[in-house]
Structure formats: C-alpha cells, structure tokens
Amino acid sequence: MEPPRSFDHTPALTPERIPRAVREAARRLAADPGSGYVYDPALAASRARELRGALPDWARVYFAVKSNGFGEVLAHLAEAVDGFETASLHEARSALTHLRDSAGGHRGRPIAVSGPGKSPEMLAGLTRLRAESGAEVVVNAESELELYRASAAAEAAGTVLPVTLRVNPERVPVRGALAMGGTPSPFGLPEPLVDGAVRTALSLPGLDLIGFHVHAVSGNTDAVAHAAYVRWCLEWARRTADAHGVDLRVVDVGGGLGVPFEEEDEAFDVKGFGAALAELPDPGVEVVFEPGRWIAAPAGWYAARVTDIKSAYGLDFAVVRGGINHFQLPTSWEIRHNFAVVAEPSWPEGMPRPRVDGASVTISGELCTPEDVLARDVRVEALRAGDTLVFPNAGAYGHEFAMPAFLAHPSAPRVSVDSSEPV
C-alpha cells in the first residue's frame, strides 16, 4: 500500500465548497468523538433517479451496496432504484429489508449477488432467503464449481435459482481508471471457459441461466467510451446466448461510472451517455447497471479534527483524529483526495495551539504506520490544531472500505443531513 500521490502544493478546497449543513455536522463530529461521516441520503436517491431517467426503458439501475451500506442511505435508495447489487448474505438481507419497507415493495426488484468466492454456506443462505421471502435473488456465478454448489443449494431449498455467468472477456474495448477484464483475475470466468460453463449451467437442475454479467471496468468518466462498452457487452451476450440456445433475459454490464476526484477531471456525462444508448436497437432484454460510486460518492463527506501540527526536517504534518482506519480510500487507490479546512475558533485557554500558514501540509492519521496518510503536499492558507478537515466525495467506499480493527480506535460514526440547505 503506497501513500496517495502528492498534490504538488495544490491549494486546499475553500470551505464554501462544503454545504453549510455538512460543515455544521462535520464540526459537531470533530468536537466529539473527533471524526466521522456525513451523508445526504436524499442526494444519493436523487442521483439514482437522475441516472435512471437518462437511460432507455430497457435499462435497470441497481445500487452496489458494497459502496455504502448505511441504513438511511439504503432506505432512500430503495425508493429510487430497480434493485440492489450485493456481495454477501448480510448485504442481501439488508437489501431485502429496505426494499420490503419501501413504497414499491420487494416484488419484481431483484437482489443480484456477486463475489469471486461464494461459499456453500453463503449460497445455502441465499437460496433459503429466496425460498422463504419470495425475493428475486439472482446469483452472478463466477466459476463452474460455483454453479454446482448453487444448484445443490437450490435443490436442497426446493427452489430454482436464477443465475448469470460473470465473464472475464479476453479483450475489453473501453478506457477506464481500473480495467477489470482481459487480465488475470479471480473475478469471473475467463472467456475461453465460458462455453463449457454455459453447458454446465444449462444441465444443472437447480439453475435457471438467465444471462451474463460483464463488469470489466471501474471509475470510467468517458461517457462515449462507456456507451461503446455497453454496446459491446450486448453484442457479445447475444452472440454467445444464440450459440448455446440460452434464453437471454438479463445482461448485467456492471457499474464503472466514475466521479471526478480532482479539479481537472471531467464529470461523467449522464445525459450524453443516455442519448448514446438510446441510439442502440432495443436489445429485448433487461440491461442492468449497478453503480455504487457514481450514486453515493458525492453524497458523503469524511470529517476529522486536526489533533496536532508538526514540523520535521522541513516538512509540515497535520495529524488528524482518524485516518485510514476510517477512510482508507485515498491510500488504497493512490488517489489525490482534496479537503477543505473548517476553522474552529474555540481552544482551551493556556494550551499552545500549533499552526501552519501559507504552506503545504501532509495529512496523517493517528495509526502507528507510515501508510496512514490521507493527502500529501496540500497548500493551506491557515491550519491550526483543533480545526476540522472535510473530505468531499467520500460517500462511497469510505466507511465500508476502511480498516477499523487496527489499534482498536473508536469506529467512525455516521450522520445524515440535508445538504441542499443554502450555504
């Protein structure tokens, strides 16, 4: 794990970039217990509706629960999406609960289940969940052994389990920040093995092969390229299904819609993406999109109190209450994740208050490892111990993607606000 790339003295964001309600909630979290997440569940739901409204009628929008499993976020999204994508039995049960409690109910809104290593216990739990609740649980199978295990679990539960085959294609004609196809990977079936897996799936009594899953790119901000990728997925799925007599009903093209983390990055053109897809012929199947980051990232902020300012051999460091035990994404992805400084006027009388003015700082966490770095070489006008740092675009793969057990510091609390209030 490498520290995030240097900001090369890029200025910190201005506080005005953070909605007022978020700033206030961030200051409260920074005061006690010292750090945490602020979410706007309504904003996440609004983004899901925006995406769904831009896409053709044959498209379906699921939300990837792995990106943000906070209950209030899922409750709002259950009113806005066509289904949920999950990667564990716990996530599947949570998704079912929120769909069931929503105005539309859970009938007709599937719960897709992904993951490269589904255990027999997990598959048994999923089939029982389907049999007992009537939920439409669809397993994205990722190996031939998994197909046999899924069929055995379905037979034991007295049901038939709908499955798609997740494919790792040999060549993926798309640009993206993280290519997940055409490379050695534990995810999905390499394309040369697909024919045999299709025959196996069609022969097993507990399975209903309904289509294919191709999640081959992540973090893509090029809408034109992503539309071309969807076209390719549809053509590949139709060609493969026809070759084997598969009753093709679903093509899951994964998520992969990126968000801009840096000022110079372009936002994903949702309307342009929808317009490009509208030019495609009706595929005659449900085409599933399962974004997490694009829906949830802008609806969340990570806040942390600066506990100390230190200088060492010509470099300035701000140490925060928190770090990668709460917010590991910048370090794991080696991305430059900027922040805003929210000043805190109060300070204990008689206590020295270190500060840095007009200089670049590196933001370090409280863990006993040099990898605990959230941002490097960000220029601040003024930063003092006791101030609050607020990182936007933290609503996806933040809380869920951290390492809270190391050193056993308190976990990051999560609160909800309405960020649409005036600044």
CA distances from 257 to 218, 233, 270, 290 (A): 7, 15, 9, 9
Three-state SS sequence of the chain: CCCCCEEEEEECECHHHCCHHHHHHHHHHHHCCCEEEEECHHHHHHHHHHHHHHCCCCEEEEEEHHHCCCHHHHHHHCCCCCEEEECCHHHHHHHHHHHHHCCCCCCCCCEEECCCCCCHHHHHHHHHHHHHHCCCEEEEECCHHHHHHHHHHHHHCCCCEEEEEEEECCCCCCCCCEECCCCCCCCCEEHHHHHHHHHHHHHCCCEEEEEEECCCEECECCHHHHHHHHHHHHHHHHHHHHHHCCCCCEEECCCCECCCCCCCCCCCCHHHHHHHHHCCCCCCCEEEECCCHHHHHHHEEEEEEEEEEEEECCEEEEEECCCCCCCCHHHHHCCCCCCEEECCCCCCCCCCCCEEEEEEEEEECCCCCCCCEEEEEEEEEEEECCCEEEECCCCCCCHHHCCCCHHHCCCCCEEECCCCCCC
- Dihedral angle over CA of 39, 40, 41, 43, nearest 10: -140
Give me the percent of the chain exceeding a pLDDT of 70.
97
pTM above 0.85? yes
Lowest model confidence (mean pLDDT) among 156-165, 285-294, 316-325, 398-407? 398-407
Residues 6+ apart with CB under 8 A from 129: 89, 92, 93, 96, 135, 137
* Cα 78 from Cα 72, distance rounded (Å): 10
- Residue 330: predicted pLDDT: 87
Q: Return the percentage of the chain with pLDDT > 90, whole number.
A: 85
Assess whether pLDDT exceeds 60 at residue 155.
yes
- For residue 167, pLDDT over 70 is answered with yes
Mean pLDDT across the stretch 103-123? 94
- With a cut of 70, say whether residue 173 has pLDDT above it: no
Q: What is the pLDDT of residue 422?
A: 63
pLDDT for residue 144? 97
Average pLDDT over residues 346-354: 96
* 22 close to 345: Cβ distance less than 8 angstroms: no
Residue 179 has pLDDT above 90, yes or no: no
pLDDT of residue 334: 78
Domains of the chain: 6-39+298-416 (2.40.37.10), 110-291 (3.20.20.10)
Q: Is the pLDDT of residue 415 over 60?
A: yes
When pLDDT is averaged across residues 297-318 and rounded to a whole number, the result is 97
pLDDT of residue 184: 81
**What average pLDDT does the segment 133-158 reach?**
96
Task: Using the predicted structure, report yes or no on whether residue 182 has a pLDDT greater than 70.
Answer: no
What Rg, from alpha-carbon coordinates, does the chain have?
23
Find, among 63, 116, 60, the residue nearest to 85 by Cα: 63
Confidence of residue 175 (pLDDT cuts 50, 70, 90): low
Average pLDDT for the chain: 94
Distances (CA, A) of 285 to 50, 56, 226, 334: 22, 12, 19, 38
pLDDT, mean of residues 172-192: 73
* Structure confidence by residue, pLDDT tens digits, 57-66: 999 999 999 9
For residue 72, pLDDT beyond 80 = yes
The rounded distance, in Å, linking the Cα atoms of 138 and 115 is: 12
pLDDT class of 41 with cuts at 50, 70, 90: very high
